[in-house]
Amino acid sequence: MVWLLTLPFRLLFGIVFGLLALPFALLAIPIAILLIPFMLLRLLFKAAAALIVLPVVFVAVLVALAVGLFATLVAVVLPLLPLAFFIFCIWAIVRVASRPAYVP
């Protein structure tokens, strides 16, 4: 609600300083017109650099994601390996100890 109280002052200062800046803005128009081709050339160079660099960055991101996924998988599976070995040993013992049914 405070901004409503300061609104007339903000409008007054905006109009006054806008009128004071108008001659400078009018003087800057020819300079801006002269600079537009250079700004377009800069944009062209940046776009060309982006087209060259972006595929390399994309491949690097994919490699980093693959390495991160592999590291996460190893970090999750590695602590479970002793348990998997224990279960495998029990399975092997049960398999060897059980005899197949003899059917004549």
The one-character DSSP state at 95 is H
Q: Is residue 45 part of a domain?
A: yes
Q: Kindly report, residue by residue over 77-93, the tens digit of the pLDDT.
A: 999 999 999 999 999 99
Give pTM, 2 decimals: 0.50
Query: How many domains does the chain fold into?
Result: 1
Angle, vertex CA 20, rays to CA 12 and CA 28, nearest 5 = 135
Q: Which pLDDT band, with edges at 50, 70 and 90, does 101 fall under?
A: low
Residue 44 domain boundaries: 2-97
- 104 domain residue, yes or no: no
Q: What is the pLDDT of residues 14-44, one digit of tens each?
A: 999 999 999 999 998 988 888 899 999 999 9
Q: How far is CA 39 from CA 14, 46, 103, in A?
A: 29, 10, 90
